Amino acid sequence: MKQLKIINKLLIGLIVILIFFFLVGITYSYFLADIIDSETETTLTSESGRLDIKYNGGSIINESGFAPSSVPFATKEFSLKANSNIKDALMGYRIFLIIDKNTFSTGAISYTLTSTTSGNGQPLQSTEDYKSLYTFSGYLGTGYFEGLAIDAIHTYELKLYFLDTDTNQTADMEKSIKTHVEVENYIDPCNYQECPGLGEAILAQEADGEVDGATVIETKDTPDFDEINGESGLYAAEDNYTVNGHKSYYYRGLKDELNNNLIWGGFQWKIVRINGDGSVRLVYNGTELQFNKNGTVNTTGTNTQIGTSVFNETNCDDAKYVGYMYGGANGSASTSRNGSIPTAATFNQTSNTIKDVLDNWYKTNIADRPFEFDVANNLFCNDRRLQSEVGGSSTGEGHGKSVTIYAPAYRLEKSNTNLIMWSRK
């Protein structure tokens, strides 16, 4: 399988945290929790040195009779101690929080991770803000020791919370969660320094002798969009992000013939295109742990999803709810299509249901991680132009109870061209 970046690693299970909640009260949500681990030391070794992992706090911790609170219901400490006598050594590692089972409602259980260091290197960044746990596993981050390291230690404190939301939380009674932490060896291909941009690396793969990759792609003919797959590969076009005449480069064709798989941030991604400003557009394709287990990238099915959700829970026969965001509060009617007032359908004020789901996933898995600096802030493609604005007949006003046909529907039905080049205006 072609892969932009495949990292061989030694998976080592460090700690198994088993948490069971049992309802013992009616007026309040009281629970019982057990955190269980084997309380042993585990060792990661490499050519440069040795890394020992130790769990603190005893083999079993019992907590009982707690209600939703801002106080953690469980705390687990673990530390990584490095020993290396090689001057230029780098000993890297990554930490994952694996969700084995979670029947709680989305975001009901949260965690914080605090890191301290004694010696050298760079531990994971502390996450003092609450991070929600979901039904999928999370990538906590990357740390490393460098150079001469004698008893250098990175210590972590993981806290789990069932926060009081000041709302009715009885729906989470008699629910359970089972989770554990995994630490693995990790060798960063850039030695934890800045690498060439991903877009540059993609284009470099298309180079042919002394002809650079961008030129090779740009000399291709425009593909025939009437042909469902056509010749697979990268093609060039301009888009709404084009800067200084730069082209956008997009993938099309059969997935097995495309070199567009990526491992980044602990997840699998499909590369869709290089935008005209040089940023790269990705689509979620599962976790890196799934790739490690299966030895291949995901193709279809639930593994390629972060979850399922309606686009918007509210309908109310109002055209504003087709938007990724819309004007006014949920349930209030829109009175115009465009404008700078909250009652306008396209006024970006309130997030719809799917945006909240995606935002929460981002906050848990990407936000505040060192690699978040790689993320570009571009528009979400939610094309709310009317059918009449792209060549179709006039239909609908795009707000209120008006039945409206939008530009994407017209393109798909009448002219399946330029599907790769549109974006929201």
Assess whether 346 and 296 both reside in one domain.
Answer: no
The whole-number average pLDDT for the span 19-27 is 24
Any domain includes 3: no
Assess whether 174 and 39 both reside in one domain.
Answer: yes
Listed residues 185, 215, 230: the one ending a domain: 185
Judge if pTM exceeds 0.85.
no
The whole-number average pLDDT for the span 310-314 is 86
Listed residues 185, 209, 229: the one ending a domain: 185
Assess whether 176 and 206 both reside in one domain.
Answer: no
Any domain includes 309: no
Assess whether 54 and 150 both reside in one domain.
Answer: yes
The whole-number average pLDDT for the span 60-67 is 51
Mean pLDDT across the chain: 77
How many folded domains does the chain comprise? 3
Any domain includes 425: no
Give the pLDDT confidence score for residue 23 in this predicted structure. Answer: 23
| Model confidence band, residue 3 (pLDDT cutoffs 50, 70, 90) | very low
Any domain includes 192: no
Any domain includes 268: yes
The whole-number average pLDDT for the span 362-366 is 89
Assess whether 133 and 240 both reside in one domain.
Answer: no
Assess whether 340 and 400 both reside in one domain.
Answer: yes
Nearest to 191 by CA among 48, 288, 3: 48
Contacts 24+ apart (CB under 8 A), 269-272: 271/4, 271/202
pLDDT tens digits, 249-259: 999 998 889 99
Give me the domain span that covers residue 396: 319-414
pLDDT at 135 over 50: yes
pLDDT at 143 over 80: yes
- Residue with more model confidence, 86 or 232: 232
Any domain includes 132: yes
Q: Tell me if 327 sits within 8 A of 343, measured CB to CB.
A: yes
Give the pLDDT confidence score for residue 57 in this predicted structure. Answer: 54
Give the pLDDT confidence score for residue 413 in this predicted structure. Answer: 77
Assess whether 33 and 174 both reside in one domain.
Answer: yes
Beta bridge partners of 121: none
Assess whether 280 and 406 both reside in one domain.
Answer: no
Any domain includes 129: yes
Residues 6+ apart with CB under 8 A from 373: none
Assess whether 54 and 161 both reside in one domain.
Answer: yes
Listed residues 304, 335, 351: the one ending a domain: 304
pLDDT at 371 over 70: yes
